[in-house]
Chain A
Amino acid sequence: MITDDDFLPDLAERPWLTRQRQLGIAILVLVLLFAVVPIVTAPDPRVQDLTRVLQSPDALHLLGTDQLGRDVLARVSAGARLTCGLALLCVLTAACIGSAAGLAAAWCGGWVNRTLATVADMILAVPVLLIVLLLVAFAPGHLLPIYLALALSMWVEYFRLVRAHALRVLASPHVESARLLGFSPAYVTRWHLWPELAPYVGSVMVMGTATAVLALAAVGFVGTGLRPPTAELGLMMSESFAYWRDAPWLLLSPVAVLVAGVVGLALTTGLGEDRP
Chain B
Amino acid sequence: MKLAPILLRRLIQAVLVALVISTLAFFLMRSLPGDMAFRVAAGRYGPDMVSVAAAEAVRAELGLGRPMLEALGIWLGRLASFDLGVSFVNGGSVAAQLGHELGYTLRLACAAAVAAFIIAVPVGVAAGSRPGGLMDRGSLVVSVILRSVPPFLMGLVLIIVFSLQLQWLPSAGYENRGSDILPALTLGLGLAGPMSRIVREAVFQVRSQPFHLFARTKGLGARAVMLRHTLRNAAVPVVAYSGTQLALLIEGVVVVESLFSWPGIGHALVHAIFARDVPMIQGAILVMSLGYVALNALIDIAVRVIDPRVEEPA
Contacts and interface: CB of A to CB of B under 8 A. Distances in A.
A136 B285 CA distance: 13
B180 interface: no
A231 B246 CA distance: 31
Nearest to A127: B247
Contacts of B153: 237, 255, 258-259
A218 B292 contact: no
B187 to A, nearest CB: 13
Interface residues of B, number: 55
Contacts of A221: 152, 255, 259
A199 interface: no
B273 A218 contact: no
Interface in B219-267: 247, 250-251, 254-255, 258-259
Interface string B7-27: 001000110110011001101
A63 to B, nearest CB: 18
B166 to A, nearest CB: 15
B269 interface: yes
Contacts of A229: none
A121 B150 CA distance: 26
Interface stretch (A81-89, A185-193, A261-269): A261-269
A133 interface: yes
A137 B28 contact: yes
A10 interface: no
Interface residues of A, number: 42
A1 B150 CA distance: 41
B274 interface: yes
B132 A271 contact: no
Contact of B204 (A133, A234, A274): A274
A212 B16 CA distance: 25
B81 interface: no
B152 A276 contact: no
Contacts of B156: 237, 241, 251, 255
A125 B293 contact: yes
B183 to A, nearest CB: 14
Nearest to B10: A125
A129 B270 CA distance: 11
Contacts of B201: 274
The winner among B14, B145, B152, B278 for most chain A CB atoms within 10 A is B152
Interface string B67-96: 000000000000000000000000000000
B195 to A, nearest CB: 14
Nearest to A276: B132
Interface in B277-292: 278, 281, 285, 288-289, 292
A128 B150 CA distance: 14
B272 to A, nearest CB: 8
B197 interface: yes
B16 A272 contact: no
A266 B147 contact: yes
Contacts of A121: 9, 13
Contacts of B31: 138
A94 to B, nearest CB: 16
Interface stretch (B109-117, B136-144, B299-307): B136-144
A135 B132 CA distance: 44
Contact of B274 (A128, A214, A218, A224): A224
B147 A134 contact: no
Nearest to A121: B13
A217 B204 CA distance: 34
Interface in A217-276: 217-218, 221-224, 234, 237, 241, 244, 251, 255, 258-259, 262-263, 266-267, 271-272, 274-276
Contact of B17 (A125, A136, A137, A241): A125
B313 interface: no
A1 B140 contact: no
B160 interface: yes
B21 A126 contact: yes
A135 B20 CA distance: 12
B150 A126 contact: no
B39 interface: no
Nearest to A224: B273
A266 B144 contact: yes
A223 B270 contact: yes
Contact of A223 (B145, B151, B251, B274): B274
Contacts of B254: 129-130, 133, 222
A11 interface: no
B149 interface: yes
Contact of B251 (A118, A128, A266): A128
Given A133-B273, A218-B255, A234-B152, 19 more contacts: A121-B9, A122-B13, A125-B14, A126-B17, A127-B289, A130-B254, A130-B288, A133-B270, A137-B273, A210-B148, A221-B259, A222-B270, A224-B274, A251-B156, A255-B156, A259-B149, A262-B147, A262-B148, A272-B144
27 contacts: A1-B213, A1-B214, A121-B13, A122-B13, A125-B14, A125-B17, A127-B288, A127-B289, A127-B292, A129-B251, A129-B255, A130-B250, A133-B269, A134-B28, A137-B28, A214-B150, A222-B254, A222-B259, A224-B274, A237-B156, A255-B153, A259-B153, A266-B144, A267-B144, A271-B140, A271-B197, A276-B132
Interface of A: 1, 118, 121-122, 125-130, 133-138, 140, 210, 214, 217-218, 221-224, 234, 237, 241, 244, 251, 255, 258-259, 262-263, 266-267, 271-272, 274-276
